[in-house]
Chain A
Amino acid sequence: MNSLPIPFIVILAILSLAGVGIYCLLATRNMIRVIIGLQLIVKGVAMAFILGGNMTSNISLGQTMALTVIVADTIVAVIGLAFAVQVRHRMGTLDIKELSTLKR
């Protein structure tokens, strides 16, 4: 195990985070779980940015992109959770299959 290069291990971590996140988005019906899945994907993406910056010797750029992405995703989580609360309050359900029509 010690002969595996570090970038490879990090790439495995990224792929696992992104993969689990995408699977969660594909196979869930609860709105809040959707947001959990999004959070997982974005952690993987931020890690990918940092790793990419390191590998192409553009280190600061990678870190600033990762920062930007984390900020954006946090805001998405805030607004998504606000949505979920309001939807639950008005429509009574958090099931995205039932909510998939716009006019109710």
Chain B
Amino acid sequence: MVYVLVAVSILVFAILAITSKRLLVSAIWLAVTSALSALMFYMLGAVQVAVIELSVGAGLVTVLFVFAINISGEEALNLKPIMPKPLAWGLVAIAAALAIYLIISGGGLSFALGNTTEEAPSILWGGRYMDIILQIALIFSGVLGVLGLLSEGKPEVQKEDEE
């Protein structure tokens, strides 16, 4: 029962997140969606992933969004989307319906709750150490990205005067 509740509220808040007119409000709904999906992760047995998702998704990313939206300002863009909305909705709905159909007809949804607080780190460091190396590289580039977030850059007017 809890599962159904969480799943439905994830759907509701996700739709709210993308249909809000103001970007700040979208960011808040995104944070709520993150929290709810962290709850879902916990119910599926992935405790560490849930904690990280909560702190990163609902914390760090939301703060970054608020920061970026405040710096770049909000425009009230009421522009036509690049492709007609019904087409987009229709495609996504068809894809989702087909996926559900395939899964139902495939059958055999066996399930085991996760209970592995000890094993996950050893797999991470043992078999998937390439992943760790790539994540470290990614974090370095993330640091460079934060520098980009904060830098001012040369104003454009002066460059045109030089040329």
Known contacts A9-B4, A36-B30, A85-B72: does B49 contact A17 (CB below 8 Å)? no
Contacts of A37 in B (CB 8 A): 18
Contacts of B103 in A (CB 8 A): 8, 11
Contact code string A60-92 (vs B, CB < 8 Å = 1, else 0)? 111110111011101101110111111011100
CB-CB nearest in chain A for B41: A50
Residues in B neighbouring A84, C-beta threshold 8 A: 68, 72
Shortest beta-carbon distance from A11 to chain B in Å = 6
Interface size grouping (class) on chain A = 35 or more
What is the total of A-B residue contacts with beta carbons within 8 Å? 238
Shortest distance from the beta carbon of A47 to any chain B beta carbon, whole Å: 6
- Enumerate B29-63 residues with CB–CB distance to A below 8 Å: 30, 33-34, 37, 40-41, 44-46, 48-49, 52-53, 56-57, 60-61
- Contact yes or no, B40 A28, CB < 8 A: no
CA separation between A72 and B64, bound complex, in Å?
A: 16
A33 touches B18 (CB 8 A): yes
| B40–A10 touching, CB < 8 Å | yes
Chain B contacts of A9 at CB under 8 A?
3-4, 7
For B104-120 the 0/1 string (1 means CB < 8 A from A) is: 00000111111110011
Contact status B100-A67, CB under 8 Å: no
What residues of A have a CB within 8 angstroms of the CB of B33 in the complex? 17, 40, 43
Q: Are A43 and B49 in contact (CB under 8 A)?
A: no
Task: Give chain A residues whose Cβ lies under 8 Å from the Cβ of B120.
Answer: 60, 63-64, 67
Nearest 10 A/B pairs, CB to CB:
A79-B145, A88-B72, A82-B148, A13-B7, A82-B149, A16-B11, A26-B88, A81-B68, A75-B142, A60-B119
